[in-house]
Amino acid sequence: MLAIACVLAATDCDTPHTYVVFGNDYPTSPTNRLIVYRATWQAVTFQSPIAPGDSSDPQSTIAASENTAYVVLAPGWDPEGGAPPASFVVLQSRQGFAVHLNNTLRIPIDDATFSGNCAVGSFLPQAQADFITQFVFPNDFASLRYDATNCKTIPIGDARAP
């Protein structure tokens, strides 16, 4: 009888749902499309591309205090084309993001919120870019070296690499 009461009580309670969503707030431009290739915050990594003007699907997370978000852009890449991205740009949020229990955190991806887009004069220190490429997104950069001074992705072993 006690077990039935516990099940009934549990079904009457609202279970808190806490989510995180990434929004690609870069402008929709046919000549300069900045596709979000990967994004991560806390322990949640988004694997699906996010086109300019679109948002990711909400992903479950836990309530958390200020945590840094990281993004990999694929400039000019066509996710529908079948070819892998030709280059990447690595970004880090300028400040941490927090979410409270039973809320949804929306993280806007743009140059005001993230640093590291060389095209607008925003640069990450090489050590920080190395951290992001080697520890946050190691699979995406397994055979690449990222040069933060000019936002260039270079295949490892490329004789032309600086």
**Rounded (5°) CA angle 44-47-53:** 100
Q: Is the pLDDT assigned to residue 1 strictly greater than 50?
A: no
From residue 100, alpha-carbon distances to 16, 47, 94 in Å are 10, 24, 20
Q: What mean pLDDT, rounded, does the chain reach?
A: 89
Q: Give Rg (Cα) of the chain.
A: 19
**Rounded (5°) CA angle 108-105-87:** 35
Q: Are strands 19-24 and 104-109 parallel, antiparallel or unpaired?
A: parallel
Q: Say which residue, 162 or 43, is predicted with more confidence.
A: 43
Say what the pLDDT of residue 22 is: 98
pTM for the model: 0.86
Burial 20-35 (b: 16+ CB within 10 A, else e): bbbbbbbeeeeeebbb
Residue 32 banded pLDDT, cuts 50, 70, 90: confident
Choose the weakest-confidence range: 29-33, 76-80, 107-111, 145-149. Answer: 29-33
Measure CA of the first residue to CA of the last residue in the chain; give whole Å. 73
Asked whether 98 and 65 are in contact (CB, 8 A), the reply is yes
